[in-house]
Amino acid sequence: MSALVTRAEPWVFRTLLGLPPWLVRRLAGRPVVVDGQRLDPETQWVLRLERLAGEPPVASLPIPEGRAALRRQSRLVGGRQPIGETRDLAVPTPAGPMPARLYVPRAQVAAAGSPAAEPAGPLLVFVHGGGMIYGDLDSHDAVCRLLAERADTRVLSLDYRLAPEHRFPAAVDDVWTGYQWAVQHAEQLGADPGRVAVGGDSAGGMLAAIVANRAAAEGVDCVFQLLVYPATDFHEKSASRRTFGTGFYLTHEFMDLAENSYLAPEDDRRDPLISVLHQEKVPEGLAPALVVTAGFDPLRDEGEAYARKLADAGVQVEQRRYPGFIHGFLNVVGVGRANRAAVAEIAAKLKGALHP
């Protein structure tokens, strides 16, 4: 999609995704049905536009160029989302300051200092996806803004160290340190320290799940976990990895590059800090979870397997599959209709969990 940015103005792309639904269905091509699911027409249209633009797969580029391409793509599909206030921060870690960004919804900015202001509300610590090799504060800026506004919740996004410069367990260490810092400094962030949650997408969903488990095991407050198409299993390849690893955005090549960049050959793929699905026992007191998957996503089956594992252990879990979508739909909040509506629904569920 980044080629569209250089060949045409972003508004052209937004216009193409804003066409009437009947026209989008016609332009997208013949319906795609796999595993009893029909690909969403808007998603199919985006994939076709990507092919028409000659967009090279991110994984085919040198990693620095791939990072820039992914950032451009995210900005294109994310659009300009309103927010009350953002504040860039530096979270201290043993490896040095970690960049972070705080999002404050407009309603809370307007109420600040008012005699009628409500008590401090919840905080979501957000962990971006990108296979542990891509992604940053800007790649997930749009979705953090939307989640903050729609869930009426402050969001703290963490910019953890990436591979291959920093291999496992650097990302795990950074995110755990950042989460603990957020709990300890919640009041300074304008939030209630007893209402801190964690969430993320893809690799970030994996890291968020690890944080939630560790918080429960070590007695650190965590009230909720939002896991959007999380990677949970680097040991076994699920049926959905085999079925959807080509042609639906997240590819075998991308997943292999991510794994080989993040993990060393000697790293045990069954380590629960790598494959959270393989932890032997779910810790007592684990936070309730919303586990979101996409029907045409290679990570679908392992995300749903993890949801079942939590439910079998007595954890309060809601598992929601969006059958017509692909990996990455969480970022598509600035163009089209279907993806944005799904993310708005996720935000509403988050609000319901954090504002009971």
Whether the CB-CB separation of 223 and 122 falls below 8 Å is answered with yes
Beta bridge partners of 221: none
How far is Cα 297 from Cα 263, in angstroms, rounded to an integer? 22
Q: At what angle do helices 338-354 and 141-151 cross, to 10 degrees?
A: 50
How far is Cα 113 from Cα 108, in angstroms, rounded to an integer? 10
Strand boundaries in the chain, DSSP class E: 33-34, 37-38, 85-91, 98-104, 121-127, 154-158, 191-201, 225-228, 289-294, 317-322
Beta bridge partners of 318: 290
| Phi, psi of 321, rounded to the nearest 5 degrees | -100, 135
Asked if 297 is an active-site residue, the reply is yes
How far is Cα 212 from Cα 348, in angstroms, rounded to an integer? 21
Name the active-site residue from 202, 238, 240, 275.
Answer: 202
Whether the CB-CB separation of 202 and 130 falls below 8 Å is answered with yes
Name the active-site residue from 192, 233, 297, 301.
Answer: 297
Asked if 74 is an active-site residue, the reply is no
| Phi, psi of 334, rounded to the nearest 5 degrees | -110, -5
Q: Which of the residues are catalytic?
A: 202, 297, 327
